[in-house]
Amino acid sequence: MGRSRRTLPEELLLLALDPATGTTAQPQSLDLGLAGAQLVELALAGRIAPDGDRIAVVQPRPTGDPTLDCALELLRRRGAPVRAVHWIGGPRLGLRQVYLSHLERCGMVAAVAGQMCGVLPTTRYQATDNAITREIRSRLDSAIRTGVPPDPRTAALAALAHAVGLGKHLYPGNEGRSSRSRLRDLIRHDPMGGLVAHAVMDVQNGAGAQPRRNPAPAQAGPGARPGAPEPARGVPMQPRRGTMARAVVH
């Protein structure tokens, strides 16, 4: 897959993959980051735009990416701009696994079967071409090292990486402290990336679970309860089957 074909959710997931263990760093917050990365990717494609702290659909035409288009359609159906923190904080089913499976189909990762405690089957994912991850890392490293304002895509990736806590994974230890600080500072170089990254951090801090104030009628469905979680974002809801048959280790 060429560089121009990779989306921000894919790049964020590749950054989070540990090449040694095949697991993903920060798995719980990474799910939020992937939902946020979808929003940034849709904004870069000209499909949505920030409206204060909300997200508005400005062009509903599909992008050709099924997972992004699912998120776009869900946003379009809302009929009114959605607060980024409520969108990212809404429950979702298997978004990380959707992207891992996609990367596997594209040949960028390989599924490796194993066992947990010698009993429960597990699946880990190993990058098949570390040059791709190195290229993504080099963009972040260059922005951190040179101080030159990065392009919007790299700035958004840096903002999301910081928001989900990948700084310690990418730049560990005391020697990485200054790099982690500069990674955080890159959040200011892309308005949409900054909006989404702050929303991801707000959700982790509990803001996404707070009841809405003065909710707009268009955003509440029939019989909705105040403060109830919103429907899944970015992937269609599917019944869980055989959840004990295989554990996916991230």
- Look up the pTM and report it: 0.78
Confidence of residue 128 (pLDDT cuts 50, 70, 90): confident
What confidence score (pLDDT) does residue 208 get?
56
Residues 64-118 have pLDDT tens digits of 999 999 999 999 999 899 999 999 988 766 888 899 999 999 888 888 887 666 6
Q: What number is the average pLDDT over the span 237-241?
A: 40
What confidence score (pLDDT) does residue 19 get?
79
What confidence score (pLDDT) does residue 159 get?
94
Burial of 161 (C-beta count, 10 Å sphere; 0-12/13-18/19+)? buried
Confidence of residue 218 (pLDDT cuts 50, 70, 90): very low
Q: Among candidates 8, 63, 23, 47, which has minimal Cα distance to 197? A: 8
Separation between Cα atoms, residue 159 and residue 147, nearest integer Å? 15
Separation between Cα atoms, residue 46 and residue 41, nearest integer Å? 9
Q: Among candidates 114, 181, 155, 158, which has minimal Cα distance to 15? A: 158
- What is the number of helices (H) and of strands (E) in the chain? 10, 6
Separation between Cα atoms, residue 123 and residue 110, nearest integer Å? 10
Q: What is the mean pLDDT of the chain?
A: 81
The three-state (H, E, C) secondary structure of 104-173, written as one string: HHCCCEEEEEEEECCCEEEEEEEECCHHHHHHHHHHHHHHHHHCCCCCHHHHHHHHHHHHCCCHHHHCCC
